[in-house]
A and B are shown apart, each in its own frame.
Chain A
């Protein structure tokens, strides 16, 4: 029971979508028009999963008396506080937007910009030309870097032209190959789910 019902639901769900797409009766019935709406509602209902997971994790750490208690309290306080604020004054509220723009925006964008430092350090330490392949890679990287900034344009028309060739021919060929492979892989996985071979989701 506890496995058969979910497994059946999986197969039925696949069938509904595939039927509505590939069979003329299915297209006419337009089942997914209704089921898409249902699925959106199930997603919306699951909105608290992240909040509850974080709550459990950090309450657990608080109970075990870890030395991170201050941060755990801050996380829970800020999270529930911001949710409460949003529910009271909606996302259009003055304070909600104030916090969003003054705190979340800078934190989020600075977090990603940190990688610039590590990429610089890695360029110096890790980018070694040990083989012909590595040399190809380095030349491509250097040409793209120079070709995609005004400095490259100013130095010589060769750089933007080389970048354009690499981007539109060589690297597009490589990524086209990789993506065709990934696309076929995705289809194979979907088939495995349909046939019940892939059932990791039933173990949760």
Chain B
């Protein structure tokens, strides 16, 4: 079988359920419920810190998560501060999270702030635990002085007193940086929005309580939408997710059966 036929099968397996959704229910897992309950349990006015540590490549998985969590936090009248160790994450936030806040009648600088990106990785995080304003160079993403944003008065550094929860939407190593440099030393609870690919590596830290919750890729976003009782774009993708996984399993089985029947030539074919 030529690779192109496999590609065609895959595209068909995704398009059909997108066009004709079955709407199989998405049951939330404990890893997702934990984040929902954490946010539900925070008193109004608490400050939640969202780390947008991903590039555009991870938008399909992580942006639906970030949108759902951001909306949830604002609906519960929490204050949100956005920051990114990736130069793109904060741009993505400005174009997709800020509009959600405005549609909820929230005000920039009072209910939410986007601190922008700063170069230096873990050093930036350590710096923020000592003096956030200096580490940020005194400005937000658009160059507005932090002193002009009323919400920033209560956030001079990352510590347990000022920040109730950190949620790191990450596609790589930033979760370890937050864990080692911020949340372990300060005791701020840390939850993750993770790409599915990294979910496994992060589970040992969930078990030990170092991560309080983990959203697992697009599925995690769909579960969160379900908990919010508002199916959105992640939910609408779940049927296609089901069919594509089923196709992969069929391909594995089919490949092995053909192999057993002596079709060894199969593996050699070029794309």
Contacts and interface: CB of A to CB of B under 8 A. Distances in A.
A17 B26 CA distance: 47
Contacts of A39: 120, 123
User: 3 closest A-B pairs (Cβ-Cβ)?
Assistant: A151-B242, A150-B24, A108-B56
Main secondary structure of the interface of B (DSSP, over half): helix
Nearest to B243: A151
Interface in A85-133: 90-92, 97, 100-101, 104-109, 111-113, 116-117, 119-121, 123-129
A117 B10 contact: yes
Given A90-B143, A117-B7, A150 B130 contact: no
B68 to A, nearest CB: 17
B203 A124 contact: no
B124 A40 contact: yes
A33 B130 contact: yes
B135 interface: yes
B255 A125 contact: yes
Contacts of A154: 24-25
Nearest to A148: B219
B53 interface: no
A117 B3 CA distance: 9
Determine the interface band of chain A, counting residues with CB < 8 A from chain B: 35 or more
A32 interface: yes
Given A124-B254, A151-B245, A109 B91 contact: no
Interface residues of B, number: 67
Interface stretch (A4-12, A53-61, A71-79, A160-168): A160-168
Interface stretch (A62-70, A172-180, A195-203): A172-180
A123 to B, nearest CB: 5
Contacts of B244: 116
B95 A120 contact: no
A47 B55 CA distance: 18
A150 B25 contact: yes
B119 interface: yes
B19 interface: no
